[in-house]
Protein backbone atom coordinates (compact mmCIF):
# COMPACT_ATOMS: atom_id res chain seq x y z
CA UNK A 1 0.00 0.00 0.00
CA UNK A 2 1.39 3.40 -0.96
CA UNK A 3 1.89 5.87 1.88
CA UNK A 4 -0.07 9.06 1.24
CA UNK A 5 -1.06 11.00 4.36
CA UNK A 6 0.04 9.20 7.51
CA UNK A 7 -0.95 10.38 10.97
CA UNK A 8 1.17 9.47 14.00
CA UNK A 9 -0.20 9.82 17.52
CA UNK A 10 2.27 10.05 20.39
CA UNK A 11 4.69 11.62 17.92
CA UNK A 12 6.81 13.17 20.67
CA UNK A 13 7.47 9.81 22.30
CA UNK A 14 10.49 7.57 21.90
CA UNK A 15 9.15 5.44 19.06
CA UNK A 16 7.14 8.28 17.57
CA UNK A 17 10.22 10.48 17.28
CA UNK A 18 12.22 7.74 15.54
CA UNK A 19 9.41 6.82 13.15
CA UNK A 20 8.80 10.47 12.34
CA UNK A 21 12.36 11.01 11.18
CA UNK A 22 12.56 7.73 9.30
CA UNK A 23 9.25 7.88 7.41
CA UNK A 24 8.64 11.51 6.64
CA UNK A 25 10.62 11.21 3.40
CA UNK A 26 8.40 8.29 2.32
CA UNK A 27 4.99 9.94 2.74
CA UNK A 28 3.18 12.74 0.96
CA UNK A 29 2.10 14.32 4.25
CA UNK A 30 2.78 13.45 7.88
CA UNK A 31 0.27 14.56 10.50
CA UNK A 32 1.78 14.52 14.00
CA UNK A 33 -0.33 14.44 17.16
CA UNK A 34 0.80 14.72 20.76
CA UNK A 35 -0.40 16.36 23.93
CA UNK A 36 2.89 18.27 24.09
CA UNK A 37 3.64 20.95 21.51
CA UNK A 38 5.72 19.89 18.51
CA UNK A 39 7.64 22.00 16.01
CA UNK A 40 7.32 21.46 12.26
CA UNK A 41 10.61 20.02 10.98
CA UNK A 42 9.80 19.38 7.31
CA UNK A 43 7.64 20.91 4.59
CA UNK A 44 5.29 17.90 4.52
CA UNK A 45 4.64 17.89 8.28
CA UNK A 46 1.53 19.14 10.07
CA UNK A 47 1.45 19.21 13.87
CA UNK A 48 -1.49 19.18 16.29
CA UNK A 49 -1.43 19.51 20.06
CA UNK A 50 -4.20 17.09 21.00
CA UNK A 51 -5.33 15.16 24.05
CA UNK A 52 -6.46 11.79 22.71
CA UNK A 53 -9.29 11.75 25.24
CA UNK A 54 -10.89 14.64 23.27
CA UNK A 55 -12.84 12.78 20.59
CA UNK A 56 -13.74 15.86 18.55
CA UNK A 57 -10.14 17.12 18.51
CA UNK A 58 -8.86 13.69 17.47
CA UNK A 59 -11.39 13.44 14.64
CA UNK A 60 -10.49 16.92 13.37
CA UNK A 61 -6.74 16.24 13.48
CA UNK A 62 -7.05 12.90 11.64
CA UNK A 63 -9.31 14.22 8.87
CA UNK A 64 -7.84 13.40 5.46
CA UNK A 65 -5.42 10.73 6.68
CA UNK A 66 -4.94 7.53 4.69
CA UNK A 67 -3.48 5.63 7.65
CA UNK A 68 -2.91 6.13 11.37
CA UNK A 69 0.00 4.87 13.44
CA UNK A 70 -1.40 5.05 16.97
CA UNK A 71 1.49 5.21 19.44
CA UNK A 72 -0.06 7.58 21.99
CA UNK A 73 -1.01 6.65 25.56
CA UNK A 74 0.50 5.65 28.90
CA UNK A 75 3.41 3.29 28.35
CA UNK A 76 3.84 1.69 31.78
CA UNK A 77 2.05 0.47 34.88
CA UNK A 78 -0.32 3.01 36.43
CA UNK A 79 -3.65 3.10 38.25
CA UNK A 80 -6.30 1.37 36.16
CA UNK A 81 -8.48 4.45 35.78
CA UNK A 82 -5.56 6.34 34.22
CA UNK A 83 -4.77 3.47 31.85
CA UNK A 84 -8.39 3.13 30.79
CA UNK A 85 -8.57 6.87 30.18
CA UNK A 86 -5.34 7.24 28.21
CA UNK A 87 -5.03 3.88 26.48
CA UNK A 88 -8.52 2.47 26.02
CA UNK A 89 -10.58 5.65 25.62
CA UNK A 90 -7.81 7.26 23.53
CA UNK A 91 -7.71 4.23 21.23
CA UNK A 92 -11.49 4.21 20.95
CA UNK A 93 -11.41 7.85 19.83
CA UNK A 94 -8.77 7.08 17.19
CA UNK A 95 -10.75 4.11 15.85
CA UNK A 96 -13.98 6.13 15.87
CA UNK A 97 -12.28 8.87 13.85
CA UNK A 98 -11.11 6.19 11.40
CA UNK A 99 -14.63 4.76 11.11
CA UNK A 100 -16.25 8.13 10.56
CA UNK A 101 -13.71 9.55 8.09
CA UNK A 102 -13.23 6.78 6.86
CA UNK A 103 -9.53 5.99 7.25
CA UNK A 104 -8.77 2.53 5.81
CA UNK A 105 -5.76 1.47 7.93
CA UNK A 106 -5.02 1.87 11.64
CA UNK A 107 -1.87 0.45 13.26
CA UNK A 108 -2.21 0.09 17.03
CA UNK A 109 0.73 -0.04 19.42
CA UNK A 110 0.06 -2.98 21.71
CA UNK A 111 2.65 -4.52 24.01
CA UNK A 112 4.37 -7.81 24.75
CA UNK A 113 3.01 -7.38 28.25
CA UNK A 114 -0.46 -8.55 27.21
CA UNK A 115 1.04 -12.05 27.55
CA UNK A 116 3.80 -11.62 30.12
CA UNK A 117 2.83 -14.63 32.25
CA UNK A 118 3.79 -17.21 29.67
CA UNK A 119 7.02 -18.94 30.81
CA UNK A 120 10.34 -18.02 29.27
CA UNK A 121 10.70 -21.48 27.72
CA UNK A 122 7.47 -20.99 25.74
CA UNK A 123 7.60 -19.46 22.23
CA UNK A 124 4.44 -17.35 22.40
CA UNK A 125 2.21 -16.80 19.37
CA UNK A 126 -0.16 -13.82 19.14
CA UNK A 127 -3.10 -16.20 18.57
CA UNK A 128 -2.77 -17.62 22.10
CA UNK A 129 -4.96 -16.35 24.97
CA UNK A 130 -3.72 -13.15 26.61
CA UNK A 131 -2.03 -13.43 30.01
CA UNK A 132 -1.42 -9.81 31.10
CA UNK A 133 1.38 -9.22 33.59
CA UNK A 134 -0.25 -6.14 35.08
CA UNK A 135 -2.81 -3.38 34.64
CA UNK A 136 -0.88 -1.91 31.71
CA UNK A 137 -1.08 -5.29 29.98
CA UNK A 138 -4.82 -5.38 30.67
CA UNK A 139 -5.24 -1.98 29.00
CA UNK A 140 -3.33 -3.16 25.93
CA UNK A 141 -5.43 -6.33 25.75
CA UNK A 142 -8.46 -4.03 25.65
CA UNK A 143 -6.79 -2.00 22.89
CA UNK A 144 -6.39 -5.17 20.82
CA UNK A 145 -10.02 -6.11 21.49
CA UNK A 146 -11.18 -2.70 20.28
CA UNK A 147 -9.10 -3.13 17.13
CA UNK A 148 -10.69 -6.52 16.49
CA UNK A 149 -14.17 -5.05 17.00
CA UNK A 150 -13.61 -2.21 14.54
CA UNK A 151 -12.12 -4.60 11.98
CA UNK A 152 -15.00 -7.08 12.26
CA UNK A 153 -17.91 -4.68 12.67
CA UNK A 154 -16.86 -1.49 10.88
CA UNK A 155 -14.46 -2.76 8.19
CA UNK A 156 -11.44 -0.77 9.41
CA UNK A 157 -8.20 -2.60 8.58
CA UNK A 158 -6.35 -2.90 11.92
CA UNK A 159 -2.88 -4.24 12.65
CA UNK A 160 -1.74 -4.53 16.28
CA UNK A 161 2.00 -4.53 16.99
CA UNK A 162 3.01 -6.12 20.30
CA UNK A 163 6.07 -3.98 20.87
CA UNK A 164 9.11 -5.38 22.67
CA UNK A 165 11.66 -3.47 24.77
CA UNK A 166 12.39 -0.44 22.61
CA UNK A 167 15.93 0.72 23.39
CA UNK A 168 19.04 1.80 21.49
CA UNK A 169 20.66 -1.34 22.93
CA UNK A 170 19.52 -4.03 25.39
CA UNK A 171 20.17 -3.04 28.99
CA UNK A 172 19.62 -6.27 30.95
CA UNK A 173 19.27 -10.03 30.60
CA UNK A 174 15.53 -9.93 29.90
CA UNK A 175 16.09 -7.49 27.07
CA UNK A 176 18.42 -9.97 25.38
CA UNK A 177 15.12 -11.72 24.58
CA UNK A 178 12.72 -8.76 24.30
CA UNK A 179 14.80 -6.02 22.63
CA UNK A 180 13.33 -4.05 19.73
CA UNK A 181 15.97 -1.93 18.02
CA UNK A 182 15.08 1.47 16.53
CA UNK A 183 15.83 0.14 13.04
CA UNK A 184 13.51 -2.83 13.50
CA UNK A 185 10.81 -0.67 15.11
CA UNK A 186 10.74 1.48 11.98
CA UNK A 187 10.69 -1.64 9.81
CA UNK A 188 7.68 -3.12 11.61
CA UNK A 189 5.78 0.19 11.57
CA UNK A 190 6.48 0.70 7.87
CA UNK A 191 5.38 -2.84 7.03
CA UNK A 192 2.18 -2.50 9.06
CA UNK A 193 1.30 0.78 7.35
CA UNK A 194 2.01 -0.70 3.91
CA UNK A 195 0.32 -4.10 4.41
CA UNK A 196 -2.47 -4.86 1.90
CA UNK A 197 -5.87 -3.55 2.96
CA UNK A 198 -7.17 -7.08 2.41
CA UNK A 199 -5.58 -7.77 5.81
CA UNK A 200 -8.61 -6.92 7.91
CA UNK A 201 -7.01 -7.70 11.27
CA UNK A 202 -3.63 -8.98 12.40
CA UNK A 203 -1.59 -9.08 15.59
CA UNK A 204 2.19 -9.42 15.39
CA UNK A 205 5.09 -9.32 17.83
CA UNK A 206 7.44 -6.45 16.99
CA UNK A 207 10.77 -7.72 18.32
CA UNK A 208 14.26 -7.87 16.90
CA UNK A 209 15.73 -11.14 15.64
CA UNK A 210 17.05 -12.01 19.08
CA UNK A 211 18.44 -15.51 19.56
CA UNK A 212 16.77 -15.68 22.98
CA UNK A 213 13.42 -14.14 22.02
CA UNK A 214 10.23 -15.45 23.64
CA UNK A 215 7.86 -14.61 20.80
CA UNK A 216 7.08 -15.94 17.36
CA UNK A 217 7.93 -13.56 14.53
CA UNK A 218 5.26 -12.87 11.91
CA UNK A 219 5.45 -14.76 8.64
CA UNK A 220 5.99 -12.92 5.36
CA UNK A 221 2.32 -13.46 4.56
CA UNK A 222 1.27 -11.88 7.85
CA UNK A 223 3.62 -8.89 7.80
CA UNK A 224 6.29 -8.28 5.19
CA UNK A 225 9.18 -7.43 7.48
CA UNK A 226 12.04 -9.57 8.75
CA UNK A 227 13.97 -7.99 11.66
CA UNK A 228 17.71 -7.61 11.20
CA UNK A 229 19.18 -6.81 14.63
CA UNK A 230 20.02 -9.37 17.32
CA UNK A 231 20.45 -8.53 21.00
CA UNK A 232 23.08 -11.26 21.25
CA UNK A 233 25.56 -8.84 19.68
CA UNK A 234 25.36 -6.90 22.97
CA UNK A 235 25.42 -9.87 25.37
CA UNK A 236 29.07 -9.39 26.33
CA UNK A 237 28.11 -6.04 27.91
CA UNK A 238 25.24 -7.45 29.99
CA UNK A 239 25.83 -8.69 33.55
CA UNK A 240 24.78 -12.32 34.12
CA UNK A 241 24.18 -12.89 30.41
CA UNK A 242 25.75 -16.36 30.78
CA UNK A 243 23.47 -17.42 33.64
CA UNK A 244 20.85 -19.89 32.31
CA UNK A 245 17.30 -18.55 32.39
CA UNK A 246 14.69 -20.22 34.59
CA UNK A 247 12.44 -21.88 31.98
CA UNK A 248 9.40 -21.62 34.23
CA UNK A 249 9.79 -17.94 35.14
CA UNK A 250 7.36 -15.45 33.56
CA UNK A 251 8.54 -13.72 30.39
CA UNK A 252 7.59 -10.43 32.06
CA UNK A 253 10.39 -10.73 34.61
CA UNK A 254 9.98 -8.09 37.34
CA UNK A 255 6.77 -6.78 35.77
CA UNK A 256 5.06 -10.01 36.89
CA UNK A 257 5.80 -9.40 40.60
CA UNK A 258 2.75 -8.47 42.70
CA UNK A 259 4.53 -5.40 44.10
CA UNK A 260 4.86 -3.93 40.61
CA UNK A 261 1.07 -3.58 40.39
CA UNK A 262 0.09 -3.27 44.04
CA UNK A 263 1.73 0.15 44.33
CA UNK A 264 -0.85 1.41 41.83
CA UNK A 265 -3.85 -0.06 43.65
CA UNK A 266 -5.52 1.83 46.45
CA UNK A 267 -4.65 0.22 49.83
Given 118, 136, 150, 205, the catalytic residue: 136
Catalytic residue flag (residue 255): no
Q: What 3 state SS string does the chain have?
A: CCCCEEEEECCCCHHHHHHHHHHCCCCCEEEEEECCCCCCCCCCEEEEECCCCCHHHHHHHHCCCCEEEECCCCCCCCCHHHHHHHHHHHHHHHHHHHHHCCCCEEEEEEEHHHHCCCECCCCECCCCCCCCCCHHHHHHHHHHHHHHHHHHHHCCEEEEEEECEECCCCCCCCHHHHEECHHHHHHHHHHHHHCCCCCCEEEEEECCCCCCCCECCCCCCCCCCCCCCCHHHHHHHCCCCCCCCCCCCECCHHHHCHHHHHCCCCC
Residues annotated catalytic, as ranges: 136
Amino acid sequence: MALGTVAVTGAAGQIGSVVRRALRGEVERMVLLDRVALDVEAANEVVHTVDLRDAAAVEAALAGADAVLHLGGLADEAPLEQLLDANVLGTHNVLEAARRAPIPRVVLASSNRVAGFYPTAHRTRPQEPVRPDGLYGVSKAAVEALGRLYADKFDVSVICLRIGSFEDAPADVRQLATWLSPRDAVGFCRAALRAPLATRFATAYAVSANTRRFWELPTEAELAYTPVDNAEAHASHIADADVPADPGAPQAGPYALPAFTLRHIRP
